[in-house]
Structure 1
Amino acid sequence: MPDTNVFLFYPNLIGYARIVLAIWAFWVMNHAPLQAVFLYGLSAALDAFDGWAARTYNQSSRFGAMLDQLTDRCALLAINMSLCVFYPSSAFWFQMSAVIDIASHWLHLHATDLTRKASHKQSSNPILHLYYTDRLFLGFMCGANEAFYMLMYLRAWYPGPSILGVHLMSIFCVLAFPFAFVKAGISLIHLATAAQTVVDHDVATILGQSQVKSN
């Protein structure tokens, strides 16, 4: 008999560990930056292992997918909230980063459920198809995106030595920024394609209801 205790699936146990680590990171984020970055980074790194566990033990679940997405979205939201405090003049951009990330992934998951796809990683859009099917590309983009926000957070505490008048941590942030920018662009593609999917579903529903009435 197959295991039906979804709450205790191995990937979901990893997901719970990610949540604990993330909350711990949030707790120390305003006074222990190195500890916060370690905990936050470890939580983010474990994201690669829950998917591996799901595939290895055949324990994929909608609950696990939702848990994974919620953890990612809430973690990024939390670090953006901190960055708004450390960089008040750039608060708008950090707010928009969080809004785009949350809105796009929420609508994408909703569109997946509407179309009854087995996974939110199935997409006919060529960019999203590459994003989700090439694990190296997916892992690199997610890792580089998280690195940008962690570097920005660290920069507020430890600017690093100055090189030609520019602090080392600022250089690292500049190098990581293009990847975060591209990741935001991919999120906007998520948003646009998911919106189209939901609208297509609405149109099909309206036409179906109209046909029933005409009959």
Structure 2
Amino acid sequence: MASNGNGSAALTRRRPSIDIVDAKVAVDLATAQTYSENVFLFVPNLIGYTRVILAALSLHYMSYHPKYCTVLYCISCLLDAVDGHAARALGQASKFGAVLDMVTDRCTTSCLLCYLTSAYPEWALAFQFLITLDFSSHYMHMNSSLITGSRSHKQVDGDVSRLLQRYYDPRTLFVVCAGNELFYISLYLMKWVHTPLSESFGITGDGFVAYLVSFTWPELIAYVTGPICALKNIVNLVQLWKASKVLVGVDLAERAKAREEQLLKKH
């Protein structure tokens, strides 16, 4: 029975000072919130809404205007870094903002990948896998973070995963996410840009230089950012596995606690 006690104690350690809020109470609080502290109007969340609008406009232009599409998409992605800084600087971090941020990222990237499935039908299965992995990994991770009492899905203890802890460092996160998005954008632009650098900029050379300028600039970006995209998806796999283990661990601890309570009732 010692293991049962340890399981419930571990669950308590992982979930400090969490108050369960009734859904109806939460809805009433959100409805009655004042203008001075309206979470919907927090600056980071306003930035989040702007990201959604820019992403929607980008998707509108995706099939026929690559310049507008790329500019709007990139601005939307760059604002992803701004809202986090705004939340910390203004003391306006919120669970709603964290989920809004994550959902916007997932939906925006998935829409681009959906377009790539039609642009590269021979790679459709691979893009579908990437969409599935991205959504499942972050959904599982968000749920495991909330259920263990973490204030943000970006706060990962080193004893849970050193890789994820380093990945969610703001600087690392920005580089990896930016590289991942640039890879997908470059694949998109490769369908529109066909002129090699040698013709675009009149560059000539021998050997390795001649080899480089034989590519278009989106192709070069794809080669540079491809390894970053691979790293991002390896992290997604690790995140999915770790989140699954956390959720299973919570299940085991709760089952142990339930058995312990049943034994106490019998005695």
TM-score tier by shorter-chain length is over 0.9
Match of 2:61 in 1: 28
In 1, Cα distance between the equivalents of 2:104 and 2:195? Answer: 30
Q: Is residue 207 of structure 2 the alignment partner of residue 172 of structure 1?
A: no
Q: CA deviation at 1:159?
A: 2.8
Structure 1 alignment gaps of length 5 or more: none
Q: CA deviation at 1:76?
A: 0.6
Q: CA deviation at 1:93?
A: 1.0
- What TM-score, normalized by structure 1, do the two folds share? 0.95
C-alpha offsets along residues 87-116 of structure 1, whole Å, 9 cap, x if unaligned? Answer: 000111111111111110111000011101
Highest CA radius of gyration, 1 or 2? 2
Q: Is residue 163 of structure 2 the alignment partner of residue 127 of structure 1?
A: yes
**Residues 159 and 170 of structure 1 are in contact (CA less than 8 Å); yes or no, is this contact kept in structure 2?**
no
In 1, Cα distance between the equivalents of 2:194 and 2:139? Answer: 35
Instruction: Read off the aligned partner of 2:215 and give its amino acid letter.
Output: H
In 2, Cα distance between the equivalents of 1:189 and 1:97? Answer: 14
Q: How many residues end up aligned between the 2 structures?
A: 214
Match of 1:156 in 2: 191
| Structure with more contact order per residue of length (Cα contacts < 8 Å, sep ≥ 6) | 2
- SS of 1:46's equivalent in the other structure is helix
In 2, Cα distance between the equivalents of 1:92 and 1:171? Answer: 24
Which residue of the other structure, out of 11, 19, 23, is the alignment partner of 2:52?
A: 19
In 2, Cα distance between the equivalents of 1:148 and 1:166? Answer: 19
In 2, Cα distance between the equivalents of 1:195 and 1:170? Answer: 37
Q: CA deviation at 1:160?
A: 3.0
Q: Is residue 94 of structure 2 the alignment partner of residue 61 of structure 1?
A: yes
Q: Is residue 100 of structure 2 the alignment partner of residue 52 of structure 1?
A: no
Structure 2 alignment gaps of length 5 or more: 1-33, 198-209
Match of 1:82 in 2: 115
Deviates more, 1:73-82 or 1:117-126: 117-126
In 2, Cα distance between the equivalents of 1:160 and 1:190? Answer: 39
